[in-house]
Every structure is written in structure tokens, then in C-alpha cells.
Amino acid sequence: MLKRHLALPNALFLILPLLLAGCTTYSWPDGSQETVFGVVPEEENQRYEEERVDGVRYRIPDEIPEKRSE
């Protein structure tokens, strides 16, 4: 009886991280955040000088950013 009682919490403990694996949280300059499901995060591992060459790019909430040509 005890094993059946613990089955549901154990199943939820295993399934919830899998559901969150496909989401990305974007933080906007005004401090607001948005969680988007199924959108791959942009590569943000550039050096400071490389970011300056690209210029400032603003993101609009609820719109998927266009791909940059590099």
C-alpha cells in the first residue's frame, strides 16, 4: 500500500524536469521575463568586442528573433 501511495509523487518528480527541458526564459532590458517553449536560445558566448561590432539588437516580446547572418 505504501509503494502505491508514493508512485504518483515519484512519477511527477521524474516528469516535471523533462517538461521544463524544452523551454527558454528570455530577460528583456526593462526587467520583464518571458518563458518560451520550443525556441532555441541564441548563442551569447561572444566576446565584448564582437558584441559591439554587431550593434544593439532589441527583441520584441512574443516575436521570434530573425536569424543573423554571420
Q: Which domain holds residue 33?
A: 22-62
Judge if pTM exceeds 0.75.
no
**Domain total in the chain:** 1
pLDDT per residue over 37-65, tens digit each?
Answer: 666 666 665 665 666 566 667 778 888 87
Task: Write down the H helix ranges in 1-70.
Answer: 2-20, 48-54
Whether 4 is in a domain gets the answer: no
pLDDT of residue 22: 64
Q: Is the pLDDT of residue 31 over 70?
A: yes
Whether 37 is in a domain gets the answer: yes
Whether 49 is in a domain gets the answer: yes
Average pLDDT, the chain: 70
Q: Which of 27, 52, 53, 31 is nearest to 42 (CA)?
A: 27
Whether 2 is in a domain gets the answer: no
Whether 40 is in a domain gets the answer: yes
